[in-house]
Structure 1
Amino acid sequence: MTHWASRWHEMSGAAKFRLYTWATLQGTLVSMILVVAITARSPWPTAAIVVAGAAAIAAVEARPELGASTSPAIRRWLLPAATVTLAAVWLAAAVVARTATGDKVVAQARVVGILTVLLAVFAVLSFLRGRWWILLGLAVATGLAFGFTARAALGIGAGILAGGLVAIGTALLTVWGLRIVDELERTKVVEAELRVAQERLRFARDLHDVVGRGFSAIAVKSELATALSRAGKSDRAAAEMDEVRTLAVESMGQMRELVRGYRGIDLLGEVGGARSLLSAAGCRMLIEGDPAAVPGRFHEVAAWVVREGTTNIVEHSAATVATLTLGAAGMSLRNDNPHTPVGERSGLRGLAERLATVGATLETTATDTEFLLEIHWGEQ
């Protein structure tokens, strides 16, 4: 019992629904067949009903949408065999009804024939093309085979038609429900994969923003230290290398925080760090406006703009002057002497995605002499 309970808990919601549907359909068929067979109270109709019921159960099992675990190799012959069996039982019942002399035997043959047709409609006909026309033909044929008067034939045919409509509707709605559940399960899987992909993109973007600036600063200060060393200014070169070591340690710490999921970033700290980095790269940074003027909910993303914009200036320009403007409506970062087309700046794409999450927009303007990064905060 524990084994089956464990297996049930391990199954997905779609698999549980499919198993429940299969058990309900097959259980209903078995129950109906047993009830009719027991009430028949005669060997030959009981045997015929059991054979027809077994064929219907096999036909349902042969359907990929409804079967539990039947292999494709078995399905290939199971459905034709079940169809032939149902047709043979119906034909035998029709022959008995037409040749028998006792009313009781005729009534038993009629019950067997009508039940067999309904089982065939549910298990086989429901999944065929042109099912409605075939149902009409079966209703007429069954009425003529088991109705000895026009009124009886019409009544039997109408009953088969009504019962067949219910059977086909039940089968089709069952399959439709299973397909919806399967589609929802696939949607959940795709959604989970998309979330993983988005998280990977977010992590890659954050890693680029955090580590990119640190590496850019390390590269600039290393070049400066090399130049100072060659010029014989060993004290200044040593000081620059000390700063390189400090930057490396800070970058490692920032990376650890990023991996742990913490992305603390401060606008004032980024402005000060940007000015220091650009100064080391030979670029003077001018500040217009006040960081306090930036709306509070945009402070973090503004700090990311400063960080990414500064990294781009170092990596993609030979700037001598950069101007950072901060205000209540937006911010901008302008620099001279750009040398890389804006389309190649993958960091800006990540920055645009980050801005979009808070309702802000990014615009870039590039000329041969100037590059402008402009941010609008949007509705506040």
Structure 2
Amino acid sequence: MTSWWHGLSGSAKFRLYSRATLDMALVVVVAAMAITTGGWWSIALVVAGIAAVGAVEARPEFALSSRPEPREWVLPAATVTLTGVWLAAVVVGRLAGSESTVAQARLTGTYVAVLAMFSIVAFLPHRWWTVLGLSLATGLAFWKSPASGLITATVTFVFGGFVVGTTLLTLWGLRVVEELDRAKAIEADLQVAEERLRFARDLHDIVGRGFSAIAVKSELAAALSRSGDTDRAVTEMDEVKTLAVESMSRMRELVRGYRGIDLRGEVAGARSLLSAVDCRLVVEGDPAHIPARYHEVAAWVVREGTTNIVEHSSATSAVLALGGAGMSLRNDRPHGPPGERSGLRGLAERLAPLGATLATTASDDEFVLEIHWEKK
């Protein structure tokens, strides 16, 4: 259950909470209704309450996945059940001779109308007109006098309007949370696209001109060779070689500039990135404690570890510890065991030439990435 809960997204957790809240509210309301009516009507209200809970559970708005299992029959069955109990109360209320029986039937009919508004009417397109119509229908169905009919319709409308408003506020909250999740996903995609465009622009600006010159001089050397001017052709090819070497050097510099990272900058970037996904990063120690020869690889550990936290957990807190003999990065709420992660394998390959080692520890509640090196 812990792993399942941690694996849910923030919007799915809020959706589950909202659904559970509505279900519990229905259970409490039905229990109160059954106690106030008594007799056989209590059983009828329990049946109506089960139908109302089933109608809420069948709503796609509260599904935990984007592809909920189809349960088209639940909503019609709930509607028929609630309608049947309401009609039974109307018939008994119209035919019964005992005033107490009529009062119980009227109370039951009003309760069932409110349950229908809570679980079915609130999700309809023209919900407020339906609330008004159902309230008037309930008042007319149990009409004994103008005063009693008006009171019944008014009470039904007030309580029905309250529960419909509560359900609408819940749905509004769900939409807000889902919009926030979508905005975070779009922001992450835009950041990746922006970084790709930056690298492509730098590659074009720095290396493109050298490659263009190589192409032109190669074509010129070929033309000179065909015309018999071999000396100039050799000179041009020597220049092509020089340009190729220079272009390769510039490309290496570009890659190093792209991949070369600073430890302090990565720590600041990690805090900012984790904060964007509602995860608080606590830094223990100082980057200055890391030996100079391990600064670059330590920065890579911070970057890759932060990426793993974002991609493979629902962490709310993380701790980065920096020391002279090693470092560690731990986070809560991982999504299962670490598995085969190419990023961590790449880190291990970077660490091996420096004599450093990588170790991971995973549990249902925590994931720990530890790096150890020889202190000098």
Fold agreement, TM-score > 0.5: yes
Task: Give the CA deviation at 1:260.
Answer: 4.3
Matched, 1:33 2:30: yes
Answer yes or no: is the 8 Å Cα contact 2:54–2:75 preserved in 1: yes
Answer yes or no: is the 8 Å Cα contact 1:118–1:163 preserved in 2: yes
- Aligned pair partner of 1:174 in 170, 175, 179: 170
| Aligned match of 2:7 | 10
| Aligned match of 1:231 | 229
Unaligned runs of 5+ in 1: 265-380
Task: Give the CA deviation at 1:53.
Answer: 0.7
| Aligned match of 2:360 | none
Cα distance in structure 1, aligned partners of 2:21 and 2:84: 27
One-letter code aligned to 1:126: A
One-letter code aligned to 1:21: S
Cα distance in structure 1, aligned partners of 2:166 and 2:208: 62
- Aligned pair partner of 1:136 in 128, 132, 145: 132
Q: How many residue pairs get matched?
A: 257
Answer yes or no: is the 8 Å Cα contact 1:146–1:153 preserved in 2: yes
Matched, 1:163 2:159: yes
| Aligned match of 1:74 | 71
Task: Give the CA deviation at 1:119.
Answer: 0.9
Q: How does 1:81-160 map to 2 (within 5 A)?
A: 81-160=77-156
Matched, 1:203 2:199: yes
Cα distance in structure 2, aligned partners of 1:119 and 1:148: 23
Answer yes or no: is the 8 Å Cα contact 1:257–1:263 preserved in 2: no
**Are the structure 2 counterparts of residues 17 and 259 from structure 1 closer, same or farther at C-alpha, using a change threshold of 3 Å?**
farther
Greater shift, 20-29 or 123-132, is seen at: 123-132
Matched, 1:23 2:24: no
Cα distance in structure 2, aligned partners of 1:219 and 1:263: 28
One-letter code aligned to 2:142: F
Q: How does 1:241-256 map to 2 (within 5 A)?
A: 241-256=237-252
Task: Give the CA deviation at 1:151.
Answer: 1.8
The Cα offsets for residues 48-98 of structure 1, whole Å up to 9 and x where unpaired, read as: 1111111111222232213456956422x2211111111110111122223
**Are the structure 2 counterparts of residues 73 and 10 from structure 1 closer, same or farther at C-alpha, using a change threshold of 3 Å?**
closer
One-letter code aligned to 1:207: L
Answer yes or no: is the 8 Å Cα contact 1:60–1:67 preserved in 2: no
Cα distance in structure 2, aligned partners of 1:11 and 1:254: 46
Secondary structure of 1:153 counterpart = helix
**Are the structure 2 counterparts of residues 263 and 228 from structure 1 closer, same or farther at C-alpha, using a change threshold of 3 Å?**
farther
Cα distance in structure 1, aligned partners of 2:171 and 2:6: 24
Task: Give the CA deviation at 1:175.
Answer: 2.2
**Are the structure 2 counterparts of residues 207 and 158 from structure 1 closer, same or farther at C-alpha, using a change threshold of 3 Å?**
same
Using CA pairs under 8 Å that are at least 6 residues apart, name the structure with larger relative contact order, 1 or 2: 2
One-letter code aligned to 1:244: V
Unaligned runs of 5+ in 2: 261-376
Secondary structure of 1:74 counterpart = coil
One-letter code aligned to 1:108: Q
Answer yes or no: is the 8 Å Cα contact 1:142–1:156 preserved in 2: yes
Answer yes or no: is the 8 Å Cα contact 2:222–2:233 preserved in 1: yes
Cα distance in structure 1, aligned partners of 2:20 and 2:256: 47
Task: Give the CA deviation at 1:225.
Answer: 5.3
Cα distance in structure 2, aligned partners of 1:94 and 1:247: 94
* Percent of paired sites with the same residue: 58
Answer yes or no: is the 8 Å Cα contact 1:94–1:109 preserved in 2: yes
**Are the structure 2 counterparts of residues 263 and 225 from structure 1 closer, same or farther at C-alpha, using a change threshold of 3 Å?**
farther
* Rg larger for: 1
Secondary structure of 1:262 counterpart = helix
Report the TM-score when normalising by structure 1: 0.59
One-letter code aligned to 1:231: D
One-letter code aligned to 1:192: A
Aligned-residue Cα RMSD (Å) equals 2.9
| Aligned match of 2:296 | none
